[in-house]
Amino acid sequence: MGMKSYVMGAVAGLALASTAFVMTASAAPVLYCSDGGIDLVMDGCISGNAPGYPGGGDGIYSDANGGDPKAAVMAAIFGATGVNVDISLYGKSDDNPSLFSLSGIPGSSGDWTTISGTLIKYITVKAANSFALFDVGNVATGSWSTSGILNNGGQQPTLSHISFWTAGKEPPAPVPLPAAGWLMIAGLGGLAALRRRKRA
């Protein structure tokens, strides 16, 4: 079984080959997110559970919160790249439809755009008991596909939802120093001035 994705400015999707499908010359080994050394821009990865996957799955996928909760996606990114990243969920195609313009739903491929122009760093394409993870490179539009994902019958499933992730959290607002803190700083400055006078 093999999988390869092509990204040209945005996700073009995964191409899977197995004994049940026609083998392609560009087929590569299945890239589980837990395998490591994966370029999420060029290859993407899959996290999931299905009898058709080698070993039945990768152990990262979670049935919680739609199947691609933040903790599972962060674990998948770390498993694929070895880098801890902080991500924030911008929205899900099924929970927050007013945030996106989507084509191809219901189906197995289409396009997406954030209505506000918000730049998206990662997407997870959720279908059956799996999600495909891609680094789309901070863009506001792209393509999606469930190609490479298997359902329990070994077939390509239709989309459940797409989750859109931004890189990191907004930096916290500076905390204003309480008045007592300013008084303490002024007092320390006064002490320093007194010491200079004594030395003179």
The model carries a pTM of 0.70
Measured CA to CA in angstroms, residue 91 lies from 6, 25, 34, 65 at distances of: 24, 36, 24, 13
Average pLDDT of the chain, as a whole number: 77
Q: For the residues 77-103, what does the mean pLDDT come to?
A: 95
Torsion of CA 119, 120, 121, 124, to 10 degrees: 180
Taking 50 as the threshold, does the pLDDT of residue 84 lie above it? yes
Taking 70 as the threshold, does the pLDDT of residue 175 lie above it? no
Q: For the residues 105-131, what does the mean pLDDT come to?
A: 94
Residue with tokens 């080994």: 29
Residues 27-54: pLDDT tens digits? Answer: 334 679 999 999 999 888 999 998 888 8
Q: Read off φ and ψ for residue 116, nearest 5 degrees.
A: -80, -5
Residue with tokens 């990768």: 58
